[in-house]
Amino acid sequence: MSKMVRKPMSIMSVVSKDDVNVRLRNNYDLPSMVEQIRQGGGIHTPIIIERQGDEWVVLSGNRRTRAGQLLYKDPTLTAELKEKLDKVEFIVYSELTPAERLSIINDQGSQKELCKTEIVLAVRRAFLEGQSESDIITRMYYSLASFTGNTNKLRELPTEPKAREAKLKTWFHGTVGNGILAVATMGGYVWDQFVLTHKAADGLLEEGESVTMKVTRERIKQLSAARTSDRKPENGGWNPETGGKEFNKLIDQFKAEDAGTADKVDKKRPTPKELSTRADAFKCKGISNVLRYAAGEGEEFLRGLLEEDDRLFRIGKVLEVLSRNWDSIPESLRPFCKSLLDDSPEKFEEHLKSMPKS
């Protein structure tokens, strides 16, 4: 069982590590935290640490730690505030289980909530530590609600533990099991692009980073289906390093779509026979003639296309005239007028003008 004691220590005696902390190094917003500490006269919320080898390593409170250490080195720091930073209250844990340690690391409080990228990374870390989907959801449900943009739904959770757990699993299975964890097992490239997709959305892309394939929820569904298909022995199999036939084909398609070159991917020109077959399926002469002319079946289909174009243009003009004058046409003559669609618009208009008003 884990043990915990409170201990006053200097802010300079602890270490904040990127590989321990869940927060991205470019998402600390240290200037505002430095100012909070300066204006508040110290760090008032305890920082959680653990002894790891020869170091006191921060598990929770990395922003306060890094901001406090920056402030401590500031030559304009007052003696009073420096003394406060030499006596920061720490909560010291020992004998933590991996699950307990991870739970503390992922609990970032409410001062600056985790961004979507950090939540994605936290879920994967928990998974690699051996936590089940159910464990991850139970321990991270507040962050996951933030990830989905639906924290108001937290108010609807049952208070009874089993009912609460069942509700959470139903709510977050799509986000965790079918989403983040599905991608976490799809190989390095897809995972890296998934993280970069969220970093781009969070505005946290670093210099030299770019998204070559957006990994969206819909694309995850398609990749999962392709992976399932590839895993069938008759389809050649699938593995995280080399992927599979349909899986890799989808990746190429998505990359091409995002690069604006999707029309160059697996877009073979239909054969003349295919065009002729498609032409037979259309009732409209115009479309049929286009396909047959494209299939190289002869100049008569081009003439037919031009004739059809002229006919449709003429009908359009007749309809315009008919629409403008419909209210003045006696009810008994309207069927006759409809039959005139095969006539020219000029003759049709002349005929209308010669008609009696009653």
- Is the Cβ–Cβ distance between 301 and 279 less than 8 Å? no
Residues 6+ apart with CB under 8 A from 144: 119, 123, 137, 172, 175, 176
Distance CA 114, CA 122 (A): 10
**Residue 256 class from Cβ within 10 Å (0-12 exposed, 13-18 middle, 19+ buried)?**
middle
169-198 per-position pLDDT tens digit: 999 999 999 999 999 999 999 999 999 999
47-97 per-position pLDDT tens digit: 999 999 999 999 989 889 999 999 999 999 999 999 999 999 999 999 998
139: closest CA among 116, 182, 169? 169
CB crowding 34-62: b at 16 or more within 10 Å, else e: beebbeeebbeebbbbbeeeeebebbbbb
**Architecture in CATH of 1-97:** Alpha-Beta Complex (3.90)
Which pTM does this prediction carry?
Answer: 0.63
Query: What is residue 329's DSSP assignment?
Result: S
pLDDT of 344 over the 70 cut? no
CA distances for 138 relative to 112, 133, 274, angstroms: 21, 9, 55
**Every domain of the chain and the residues it spans:** 1-97, 113-184, 188-264, 273-354
101-133 per-position pLDDT tens digit: 888 887 755 567 788 999 999 999 889 989 999
What pLDDT is stored for residue 265 in this prediction?
A: 44
Q: Please give the radius of gyration of the chain, using alpha carbons only, rounded to the nearest integer.
A: 34
